[in-house]
Structure 1
Amino acid sequence: MTSSLTIRRGGLDEVPAVLELLDKATEWLVARGRTDQWGTEAHSTNPRRVEQIRGFATDGGLWVAEKAGRVVGALAVGDAMSYIPPAEEPELYIRLLVTDRASKGSGIGTELLDHARMLARGLGVELLRVDCYGGGDGALIRYYEKEGFTRGEPFGVQISDSEWPGQILFQRL
């Protein structure tokens, strides 16, 4: 774990830093030929994505991880995304998890997921769900499974002429 990591609530001032993390993650994916997850365009230039991150900040669900005064990860929690079937019980939904690719393997994602678990328990919620890219080699699904999540239903989101493959994962607390 990263003992010098601070997790705090994020606001509108953190939106540019979160978008930069997303942009760098996309660059990292593109450099590895993995363009099916998020495409090739910067999130910071996509008005829909900018508005989504601003919404996470204004609804109080955005959390940022800082190390040495720099944002190195972000977590957004709240209600399930509109394309996800509702849960049959109260839940906390992870709407975004992104970490600094330069810090890959340092435990930032795990600490942010632990924070989500703590938030859910604080709300008296026993179900934590997340969705992720369900295509490619399945590496992202395996990451969440390593973090204690179980596969739920796969789903698809229609984007232009194709369907983006997604996977719901859940964890009982």
Structure 2
Amino acid sequence: MNVPQSDSPWRIVPAGATQLPLLTELYEEAARWQASRSPVHWPLECRENWTPDVERGYVHLLEEKATGAVAGMVILYPDPEPFDRSIWPDPEASAAYLHKLIVRRTWEGQGLGELLLDWAEAECRRMGKRLLRLDCMGDNEGLNRYYPRAGFTYRGQTIGKGWKANRYEREVREHLVSSPV
């Protein structure tokens, strides 16, 4: 989805320290929705410590420009975190790693997930990265259909104790001239 920056009704902004409760709210909303659709989901109670990632500028919110309403969030790491290193066979590749892609259900079906993914890809290009990587639960049928439709290539599966993570990556495209928002 390429939306010219000036025409987009959305903006993506770094999350601030005052928004830590909002991040937990977004996460728990998404976890409850996942639990209603799939036996494999995020824990219902948020155990995340958002502060370090917020302080480093890795957590971003999708806001509606007209109202300031927050429609979603994403975390984009410029380098692999310990979990990424544990599941990717080549974590030193020129890649950024996306986590916690969340769009509130009230904005479902408007292409906002793709908007966040395109923004993350534009950020990868700005960072000089060749790849945008992410993972999802191997048993989550919806996400495992969604990411290939969004231009991601399946790169295998890592099996842990009681879980399976499917790995996906998308090459950074040069023809995306600017960030979509």
Provide the TM-score with structure 1 as the length reference: 0.84
Please say if 1:14 is aligned against 2:19. Answer: yes
Q: 2:156 aligns to what?
A: 153
Determine helix, strand or coil for the equivalent of 1:170.
strand
Alpha-carbon distance in structure 2 between the residues aligned to 1:72 and 1:82: 28
Deviation at 1:29, TM superposition (A): 2.0
Gaps of 5+ in 2: 173-181
TM-score for both structures, normalised by structure 2: 0.80
Q: For 1:24-63, what aligned pairs fall within 5 Å after superposition?
A: 24-32=29-37, 34-39=38-43, 41-43=44-46, 46=47, 49=48, 51=49, 53-63=50-60
Please state whether the residue corresponding to 2:57 is helix, strand or coil. coil
**Deviations along 1:65-118, whole A, 9 cap, x unmatched?**
012212111111112242333434221111221110221111111111111011
2:125 match: 121
Calculate percent identity across the aligned residue pairs: 28
Gaps of 5+ in 1: none
**Equivalent-residue separation in structure 2 for 1:131 and 1:37 (angstroms):** 13
| Higher relative contact order (Cα pairs below 8 Å, separated by 6+ residues) | 2
Residue 82 of structure 1 is matched in structure 2 by 82
Q: Distance in 2 between matches of 1:58 and 1:35?
A: 33
Give the count of matched residue pairs: 160
The 8 Å contact of residues 35 and 41 in structure 2, kept in 1 or not, is answered as: no
- Say what the alpha-carbon RMSD is for the aligned residues: 1.8
